[in-house]
Amino acid sequence: MDFQTEKKPNIAPKRPFLKAKHTPPIGLALLYGFQQVMVCVSALLTVPLLMAQELCAGSSIARLRQTLISSTFVSSGLSTIIQTLLGMRLALLQGTAFAYVPSVQGFFKEYKSCNATEEDFVPEEVYYERLALLQGCLIASSFAPMLIGATGIVGVLTKFIGPLTVSPLMMLLAYSQVETMVDRVTQHWVAVVQAVTLFATILYLAELKVPIPRLRDGKFHWYYVDIFGQYPVGF
């Protein structure tokens, strides 16, 4: 008699993931939080650096950058704490919005152009006046999404505004900053190395199991973890 055994298909192990109501262990929570902070720090630094150039600070631009970056980190941290404790308690970080950068740049080029370089002296009241104007415009524009959310118009708008509308807008926003990005990358070429390493980690090393030693019951054991898939930014 002939007996044939059926071979089971090789099923790749799935990465562990947490559901909305699950609480991760303290170690994983710290690693995930550190990775999230590392991702958000770039945005918190980029927007103040770009806005400082539009304020026409001249030789005082370094001090203005420090002021903007410091205030951005403090306000972002406070708003995040308020959001997570008193607001809708969503697990997100309240930070800067890059969507306003192209409109602000276009506004200052047409309204008050600046020809001062980083070696020229500019009175403090000049760039603080531009900063006050910028802050007032952003505060006024923030009432629009608040009004849309409070009145429920967002439900009606989503029927007409979909991915086909948002995707070209995001592409245009990114395209408007190509020149600025190229200028920065040429000064800091290590950013290209970091980007290539991150893409390679996410695309090709996500399923790679790395042995990690761990002490259990007084003995060392080896655990195989896909650290590149779960923590691509940290590693």
Same domain? 153 vs 42 = yes
Residue 11 lies in a domain: no
On whether the CB atoms of residues 225 and 210 are closer than 8 A, the answer is yes
In a domain, 118, yes or no: yes
Report d(CA 56, CA 126) in Å as an integer.
Answer: 8
Within-domain flag for 6: no
Is residue 158 domain-shared with residue 170, that is, in the same domain?
yes
Tokens standing for residue 28: 């994983």
Region 33-44: what's the mean pLDDT?
80
**Are the CB atoms for 201 and 210 separated by under 8 Å?**
no
Element housing 198 (H / E): helix 190-204
pLDDT, tens digit (0-9, with 9 covering 90-100), for 67-125 = 999 998 998 888 888 888 876 777 777 888 887 888 888 888 777 777 777 888 888 88
Residue 56 sits in the same domain as residue 80: yes
Q: Is 70 exceeded by the pLDDT of residue 187?
A: yes
| 183 in the same domain as 196 | no
Are 128 and 217 in a shared domain?
A: no
Is the pLDDT assigned to residue 233 strictly greater than 80? no
Share of residues in the chain with pLDDT > 90 (%): 2
CB 60 within 8 A of CB 122: yes
Nearest CA among 42, 127, 103, 99 for reference residue 76: 42
Phi-psi label, residue 218: left if phi above 0, alpha if psi -120 to 50, beta otherwise: left
Over the stretch 165-184, which tens digit does the pLDDT of each residue have? 778 877 877 777 777 777 77
Domain count, the chain: 2
> Both 213 and 175 in a single domain?
no
Domain assignment present for 171? yes
Summarize the confidence of residues 188-199 as an average pLDDT: 77
What number of CA atoms fall less than 13 Å from residue 187's CA on the CB side? 5
Is 112 within a domain? Answer: yes
- Judgement on whether residues 173 and 227 belong to the same structural domain of the protein: no
Range of the domain at 223: 189-235
DSSP string for 74-94: HHHHHHHHHHHHTSS--S---
- 152 with 82, same domain? yes
Same domain (yes/no): 134, 155: yes
In the chain, % helix, strand, coil (3-state, to 5) comes to 60, 5, 30
Same domain assignment for residues 69 and 82: yes
> Do both 231 and 148 map to the same domain?
no
How large is the C-alpha radius of gyration of the chain? 24
**Is the residue at 224 inside a domain?**
yes
Query: Has residue 5 been placed in a domain?
Result: no
Tell me: do 135 and 71 sit in the same domain: yes
What pLDDT is attached to residue 3? 39
Q: Strands 219-225 and 210-216, how do they pair?
A: antiparallel
Q: Is 9 part of a structural domain of the chain? A: no
Instruction: Work out the mean pLDDT of the chain and round it to a whole number.
Output: 78
Model confidence pLDDT, tens digit, residues 135-150: 898 888 888 888 888 8
pLDDT reported for residue 234: 63
pLDDT, average across residues 121-132: 88
Which position has the higher pLDDT, 128 or 40? Answer: 128
